[in-house]
Copies of this chain bind each other. A is one copy, B any other.
Amino acid sequence: MVTISDVAKLAHVSKMTVSRVINHPEQVSDDLKKLVYDAMEKLNYVPNYAARALVSNRTQVIKFLILEEMDTTEPYYMNLLAGIAKELDRNYYSFQLVTRKSMDIGQCDGMIATGVRSYDYDTILKEFSKPIILFGQSDRGYDFIDVDNEKGMRLTTRHVVSLGFEKIYFFGIDLQEPFMSARLKGYLDTVNSYGLPNYLYRMKNSSRVAERNAKEILSNWKEKCAFVCASDRIALGVIRAAQSLQLQIPDQVAVTGFDGVFLDRISSPHITTIRQPVVEMGEACARMLLKKIQEDGKSQGHRFFEPELLVRPSTVHV
């Protein structure tokens, strides 16, 4: 293994100068810097992060806490994880994937938490003293990253309005959480602004439940209608309901989802949905957390990502 001492020897400088070149290059003269860089290159030097972690009293580990039941949300998280991983790699951090049960195991420099529900604040999050970033909007003053949920739902609702639908059902998730309130608001504001009536339904985020509910509504179908759903999973159920009742998609029934991760493309027909740039959001989470760690826990605020409407055959003919 090549160490800082090897580099120092080859460059005929002290270890400290090499260390400075790496961490505070502005303090070193250009001549020496060049010598050191050349030596590093020649020896293929790679810093030892365990040593650095030891001296700076850090771990180079961050935790990713998933508080939701994972199998209801899997495909979504894999992308998020990929984004987080990408940014962490770049900074020589590694991560631990933890759940409620395993979150206390081992040390870390900070945490990204997702699937946080109201009741988690007092139990899980309060205990945690290291920097933390939430994935998913929060109204408790925590730093977070999320897509602009309200705007996303405005986009889908406006989309079906523009297609001439006047009976527009909202199929939401039965959670009293900020992201759902925002999506609901996006729907309500839009139908109100067009002077259309609203039809609110809230249910478990499950394709079967959505299928059942949609079937009931559609069983005595009379006029064309649209379902704007709070998730692709729910949209999937609605599509199946319409198909089993032999209703034409998208002419008699139009359906929109939310997320744009995986399920929208598994469905047939593909689902018009709001794409969340999940990978980029993962990167942003990691970046924000690393910055927060570096700045000694200073609050980083929040950031909403721009939602993107993907128009697909569940609302329009190709």
Contact = CB atoms under 8 A, between A and B. Distances in A.
Where chain A touches its partner, the secondary structure class is helix
A286 to B, nearest CB: 12
A70 B89 contact: no
Contacts of A147: none
Interface residues of A, number: 47
Best-surrounded residue of A70, A79, A89 (most CB of chain B within 10 A): A89
A89 B185 CA distance: 41
Contacts of A48: 54, 107
A106 to B, nearest CB: 5
A97 B70 contact: no
A51 interface: yes
Contacts of A70: 78-79, 82
Interface string A45-68: 010111101100111110000000
26 contacts: A46-B107, A48-B54, A49-B59, A49-B106, A50-B51, A50-B53, A50-B59, A51-B54, A54-B54, A74-B74, A74-B262, A75-B78, A81-B81, A85-B96, A85-B97, A85-B98, A86-B102, A89-B96, A92-B106, A94-B94, A95-B95, A207-B268, A211-B268, A236-B266, A243-B243, A263-B266
Given A50-B60, A94-B106, 12 more contacts: A1-B57, A46-B107, A70-B78, A75-B78, A82-B97, A94-B95, A95-B95, A95-B97, A207-B266, A240-B268, A243-B243, A263-B266
